[in-house]
Structure 1
Amino acid sequence: MKEVINIDYLSLIFGYIILIIPFYILWYYKTGLVKDAAISFIRMTVQLLLVGFYLEFIFDLNNTWLNLLWVFIMTILATFTIIKRSELKKEYFLIPIFISILLSIIITDTFFLGFIIKLPKMFDARYFIPITGMLLGNSIKTIIIALNVYYKKLKKEKELYKWYVANGATHQEAVAPFKKEALKVAFNPVIANVAIVGLISLPGMMTGQILGGSSPIIAVKYQIMLMITVFSSSIISVFFSIYFADKKVFDAFGNLKKIQN
């Protein structure tokens, strides 16, 4: 395999120039997103550089506890990102979302790293951190969409929820139609994206492995399992987020509390 072409730091800085185009469009139409977008790209750059420098040193050390600590910090940041973007109150959602993401990571990381790749050391930094990062990134998007749809629909159609309960439905039975709608809205785009992989688009993980010198067949096998694992992780985290949060956001009379800032 040919050696990977490096991107020097000057070229990396020069690459930011292309952001002028999307930033100008956002500014011209007064979307109010320019500041958020700029902060997001700065944050992304800092985070990735930190991860890059961290991995350079940590691969040799490869300490299980340090790797677990890093993932723990990533999970906390993901939780706060979801709460901020959903404009939800921390007192109701901080712990439920955090526990849900942690559960989904434990289940899917154990499955992928332990049973599919069969790593001798499951918390190997080279696999554990980037794979978990991919799971978190995809879970953030779907949880935000699902929570917004679920609670907005509950708020809008609260009389329908009360009607279900008044006619003998349990809480879980009464909220089932709202969960169904949230799952459909959150995962329709994900399922559509899965269907076009390989024909219209090449996923980032697969492209990165090929650019890194891996065999295309090996990259394809990794990508197939990652698509399955990411999809499973996202649904697990959404399910548990709603399940645990529901125990906090309804009062003793079955009324939805004020959950958004």
Structure 2
Amino acid sequence: MDISWWQLASFMIILVVPVGIERYFKLGLSKEMLSAVARMMVQLVLVGVYLQYLFELNSLSVNLLWLLLMLLIGASAIVSKAKLSRKLLYLPVLAGLSLGLFPVLWLMIVYLLAPEPLYSAQYLIPAAGMLLGNCLSGNIVALQRLFGAFEDRKTEYEGALALGATAYQAALPFVQSAMQQSFAPILASMATTGLVTLPGMMTGQILGGVDPLIAIKYQIVILVAIFVTLTVSVSSSLLLSIKTAITINGRVRQS
């Protein structure tokens, strides 16, 4: 069943609830809330129109260019939201996202879905978008925790260096802690999926008339793919960031 634009517009009235909560508690987020909703709607409509064109065109070069653009914007968003040096960490984060995305995406497209042609935009772009989108917050949390630890636990880090540890050995406990905190949300989500939560992709397919068991198979594939992509991208980004941001003598560069 299609949703008319008039129905969609009238549904947006429920936004008075979060706005009312913001006003009552005086959170100072009204402009940010309204801006986020407006940007989300405009961006999604424009992307929807563009994807229609992309699906019809179905060009290998255009699809790969779109994937590259998604990676570049994703890496930029991670570094920006983590409030860290773009000069030092953009390339490590970009490399981490690429290492996490492309092998998993290749397996999904070639082994499982096998569309004709393999570079079909209808499968390639949404799958890449789901994988990348779910990696953003994990990478942001990991990088914030890692570089925050260098400040908060500076004495511990410098003590390890003084005792003869290499920069990697001294930073390893911080890396482990950052990974644990980054992976915690998706582990909790997977552990409760089906009992507490019904993921959006599966729900959307079922509402669209797909057999529930088929929708579940797709959802399992997506969740596993997201988990693998996240773990690879986060671990790669952290290790590459350490190599880039820490000098041979263990000094943490800020810019």
With the shorter chain as reference, the TM-score category is over 0.9
What is the aligned counterpart of 2:209 among 209, 213, 220? 213
Which deviates more from structure 2 when the two are superposed, residues 215-224 or residues 249-258?
249-258
Separation in structure 2 between the aligned mates of residue 122 and residue 170 of structure 1, nearest angstrom: 45
Separation in structure 2 between the aligned mates of residue 104 and residue 120 of structure 1, nearest angstrom: 24
State the partner residue of 2:229. 233
What is the aligned counterpart of 1:254 among 234, 250, 253? 250
2:228 maps to a residue whose letter is S
State the partner residue of 2:109. 113
Query: TM-score scaled by structure 2?
Result: 0.92
Equivalent residues of 1:155, 1:256 under 8 A apart:
no
Q: Could you list the runs of 5+ residues in structure 1 that have no partner in the other structure? A: none
Separation in structure 1 between the aligned mates of residue 228 and residue 4 of structure 2, nearest angstrom: 37
Separation in structure 1 between the aligned mates of residue 72 and residue 21 of structure 2, nearest angstrom: 33
Q: CA deviation at 1:34?
A: 2.8
State the partner residue of 1:80. 76
Q: CA deviation at 1:243?
A: 1.5
What is the aligned counterpart of 1:172 among 159, 168, 175? 168
Separation in structure 1 between the aligned mates of residue 55 and residue 163 of structure 2, nearest angstrom: 59
Alignment of 1:54-203 (within 5 A): 54-203=50-199
> Number of matched residues?
255
Is 1:24 aligned with 2:41?
Answer: no
Which deviates more from structure 2 when the two are superposed, residues 90-99 or residues 250-259?
250-259
User: What are the Cα deviations for residues 218-257 of structure 1, in whole angstroms up to 9, with x where unaligned?
Assistant: 1100100110000111111111111222122223431222
Separation in structure 1 between the aligned mates of residue 68 and residue 245 of structure 2, nearest angstrom: 26
2:196 maps to a residue whose letter is I
* Shift in CA distance, 37/108, structure 1 to aligned 2, threshold 3 Å: farther
Q: CA deviation at 1:120?
A: 4.3
* Shift in CA distance, 30/107, structure 1 to aligned 2, threshold 3 Å: farther
State the partner residue of 1:48. 44
Cα RMSD of the aligned pairs, angstroms, is 1.8
Is 1:12 aligned with 2:8?
Answer: yes
1:191 maps to a residue whose letter is L
* Shift in CA distance, 11/53, structure 1 to aligned 2, threshold 3 Å: same
Which deviates more from structure 2 when the two are superposed, residues 70-79 or residues 232-241?
70-79
Equivalent residues of 2:82, 2:143 under 8 A apart:
yes
Equivalent residues of 2:82, 2:144 under 8 A apart:
yes
Separation in structure 2 between the aligned mates of residue 251 and residue 165 of structure 1, nearest angstrom: 12
Equivalent residues of 1:165, 1:174 under 8 A apart:
yes
* Shift in CA distance, 83/30, structure 1 to aligned 2, threshold 3 Å: farther
Q: Could you list the runs of 5+ residues in structure 2 that have no partner in the other structure? A: none
* Shift in CA distance, 113/9, structure 1 to aligned 2, threshold 3 Å: same
Equivalent residues of 1:82, 1:144 under 8 A apart:
yes
Q: CA deviation at 1:205?
A: 0.8
Equivalent residues of 2:167, 2:246 under 8 A apart:
no
Which deviates more from structure 2 when the two are superposed, residues 131-140 or residues 64-73?
64-73
Separation in structure 2 between the aligned mates of residue 252 and residue 30 of structure 1, nearest angstrom: 48
User: What are the Cα deviations for residues 157-179 of structure 1, in whole angstroms up to 9, with x where unaligned?
Assistant: 12212222333323222222111
User: What are the Cα deviations for residues 136-156 of structure 1, in whole angstroms up to 9, with x where unaligned?
Assistant: 111001011111111111211
